[in-house]
Amino acid sequence: MQKARKIAGKAVYILLLAVFIVVMVFPFYWLVLTSFKDPRDISLMPTELWPSRFSLKFFIYAFTEHHLEVYLLNSVVVALGAMGLTILFAFPAAYAFSRIRFKFKKFWRNVILLANMFPIIAVVTPMFIIFRKMHLINTYWGLIVPSVIITLPMAIWTLQAFIDTLPKDLEEAAQIDGCSRFQAVIRIIFPLAAPGIFTTAIIAFITAWNEFMFALILVTKDSMRTVPVAISMFPGQYTVPWGDMAAASVIATVPIVLVVLIAQKWIVSGLTSGAVKG
Amino acid sequence: MKRHISREKRDNLTGYLLIAPAVLAIIAVGIVPVIITITYSFEYYLLTDPQNRQFVGLQNYIEILGSSAFWMVLKNTAVFAVISMVLELFLGFAGALLMNGARKGTRGVIRTVVLIPWAVPGIIIAYMFQFLFNNQLGPVNVILSYFGGASDFSWLTKPWSAMLVVIVADAWKQFPYIALMLLAGLQTIPQELYESAAIDGAGKLKSFFHITLPNLKGILLIVLLFRTMGAIRIFDIIFGITGGGPASSTATLLYQAYKYLFTDMNYGKGSAMSTIITVIILAISILYIRVLGKRDDE
């Protein structure tokens, strides 16, 4: 009896797991499938759940008709730039919040956390007007700098949670041995914090890669668009080129999926570190 | 000879030097623009009519609050926020419990599968779902027709079903994050609690309500507030799937602000709407920081 129940329980579990995985994977399956369809089959009705023939034409169109390579380059530059700037600003701040006592520390930390909550819509209009005067519209810097508002608070939070877990005695010992605080940080904390920095950098990269509203509004020239915005401009007045969009989406997703596959453990710890602390 | 600066002073100086770049950046690209937006919100400021730009006091707010469009998008936002949150919490719990019950290898696989929607651009997810639910070319109708459903149901032209597709797409993208947070929480609950509950004769359901839920309270609170804010700030999914339609039935507060600003080119009205959203979000975040602060003190 007990055994039967255990087996039944296991069967239900596996069934639920299977449903869960199908639900998670099916939209991707459909996207990838569409991208490999033959252009002649894309508007077949009823649609084929498994196509009778495959083709790479949509992938070719993504580059020949839409110049995806230009948008990919823009996305890479902007995401890498935002990632670099974020780490450059976040690491010192996270260290200070974790290790140094200074006046109004809590206040400044709350200011940064609050800024994280601002809706982009409330910052983007003045930015558009100011950036136009400063000739920053349609430039890489014009996209890298604003994205800091989305990536920086999260980065400081994650990094601080990480530095909090590092033992204090090491840097204290180094300071007693005659290292300056700066040297102690560079020689001891920085290497120890490397996994935390890596995690933060990846999350910042993905966030910047996916950013949509800034990229939609602060860029008016087609050749400066990032991939997500560029794909949203594929649909014409009367037709929606589903195949081209699917192929471009697959290409835009592959680098992100690779990053997630390689770094999933770190990403999860980074995403959850701030919250589980308590 | 070393100069004697007190340790306290030196720490203050170092602290401020180290946070300066981050704080200045946040002020420059966050706080200053928000303040400018607030000043615009008191102006008649049409991009198509720049000569007549002038201070008009609360005019924009009065117009917005007096329009039926505002109450409609407010209702849409509330409907979207509540339903998507319930769905996401339910799925998040299911996902977390499934992962928690899995063996280590399987858990890694699920975790990866679950992380990918989080990492994919929202606009791509929007088009994925628009295509899935496309009435003629999408597989959803084909699959539904196997079960006797209509094979040409037009999901995106009816208000309720368009909202449903937006909610489903958002839930699919967001619940993995909730699942991962909850899983992290589940793993901090000591196993002995369940064992002793089992000895006391408590069933699975009972231990879920008496052990699991209370232990996850903190994380649940964070997740809830994060998602409330996410629901208010959602943009790319609506932009990609419905563009706010049909007949503004899926337009949220933020989408309406976007329309005022960048379709109507009405910076005054759009800024007033953005300010309203900011106030709502700030009210919720202050609540959030209060709650978090309390947890830190405990």
Higher pLDDT, A71 or B109: A71
Stretches in chain B below the pLDDT threshold 70: 1-4, 289, 292-298
Q: In CATH, which of 3.30.43.10, 1.10.3720.10, 1.10.10.10, 3.30.450.40 is domain A65-276? A: 1.10.3720.10
> From A272, which residue of chain B is nearest by alpha-carbon distance?
B181
Q: Which of B18, B101, B114 is facing A92, going by the closest CB pair?
A: B18
Residues of A in contact with B110 (CB under 8 A): 17, 20-21
Residues of A in contact with B274 (CB under 8 A): 119, 121-122, 125
Structure confidence at residue A96 as a pLDDT band (50, 70, 90)? very high
Which residues, listed in sequence order, are joined to residue A64 by a DSSP beta bridge?
none
Residues of B in contact with A232 (CB under 8 A): 123, 127, 239-240
**For the residues A51-75, what does the mean pLDDT come to?**
90
Please choose, from the candidates B125, B274, B11, B238, the residue with its C-alpha nearest in 3D space to the C-alpha of residue A252. B125
Please choose, from the candidates B282, B227, B293, the residue with its C-alpha nearest in 3D space to the C-alpha of residue B31. B282
Q: Other CB atoms closer than 10 Å to residue B3's CB: what's the count?
A: 4
| Distance from C-alpha of A242 to C-alpha of B131, rounded to nearest angstrom | 8
Cβ–Cβ gap B119/A34 under 8 Å: no
* B233 vs A: CB within 8 A: yes
Helices B104-119, B159-186: crossing angle, 10 deg rounding: 140
Q: Other CB atoms closer than 10 Å to residue A168's CB: what's the count?
A: 11
Please choose, from the candidates B268, B181, B159, B284, the residue with its C-alpha nearest in 3D space to the C-alpha of residue B233. B284
Instruction: Answer whether CATH 3.30.360.10 is correct for domain B68-297.
Output: no
Q: Kindly state the helix (H) or strand (E) to which residue A15 belongs, with its residue range.
A: helix A2-35
Q: Which of A121, A127, A244 best probes binding to B when mutated, by most B CB atoms within 10 angstroms?
A: A121
Cβ–Cβ gap B33/A252 under 8 Å: no
Q: What is the predicted pLDDT for the residue at A217?
A: 95
Helices B267-297, B217-233: crossing angle, 10 deg rounding: 170
Q: What is the predicted pLDDT for the residue at B1?
A: 45
The count of CB pairs under 8 A between chains A and B is 265
Cβ–Cβ gap B111/A117 under 8 Å: no
* pLDDT of A117 above 90: no
| Distance from C-alpha of B117 to C-alpha of A13, rounded to nearest angstrom | 23
Domain ranges of chain A: 65-276
**For the residues A19-41, what does the mean pLDDT come to?**
88
Q: Which of B132, B296, B298 is facing A27, going by the closest CB pair?
A: B132
Residues of B in contact with A227 (CB under 8 A): 121
> From B257, which residue of chain A is nearest by alpha-carbon distance?
A121
Which residues, listed in sequence order, are joined to residue B262 by a DSSP beta bridge?
none
Alpha carbon of A252: minimum distance to chain B alpha carbons (Å) = 9
Structure confidence at residue A110 as a pLDDT band (50, 70, 90)? confident
Q: What are the tokens at B86?
A: 């319930």
Residues of A in contact with B131 (CB under 8 A): 30-31, 34, 242, 246
Q: pLDDT tens-digit profile of A144-167?
A: 999 999 999 989 988 998 898 888
Q: What is the predicted pLDDT for the residue at B99?
A: 86
Alpha carbon of A170: minimum distance to chain B alpha carbons (Å) = 19
Q: Which of B121, B180, B277 is facing A272, going by the closest CB pair?
A: B180
Look up tokens 């919250």; give the residue: A275
ipTM given for this complex = 0.89
Instruction: Decide: residue B31, CB within 10 A, 0-12 exposed, 13-18 middle, 19+ buried.
Output: middle
What's at A60, amino acid-wise? I
* pLDDT of A173 above 70: yes
> From A91, which residue of chain B is nearest by alpha-carbon distance?
B18
Q: What is the predicted pLDDT for the residue at A130?
A: 94
Lowest mean pLDDT of A53-62, A96-105, B221-230, B257-266, name the range: B221-230
Q: What is the predicted pLDDT for the residue at B254?
A: 94
Higher pLDDT, A147 or A6: A147
* pLDDT of A170 above 70: yes
Higher pLDDT, A261 or A127: A127
Q: What is the predicted pLDDT for the residue at A278?
A: 36
Q: Which of B31, B119, B277 is facing A119, going by the closest CB pair?
A: B277
Q: What are the tokens at B61?
A: 């707010």
Q: What is the predicted pLDDT for the residue at B298?
A: 42
Residues of A in contact with B222 (CB under 8 A): 275
| Distance from C-alpha of B259 to C-alpha of B178, rounded to nearest angstrom | 30
Q: What is the predicted pLDDT for the residue at B295?
A: 55
Look up tokens 């196509």; give the residue: A51
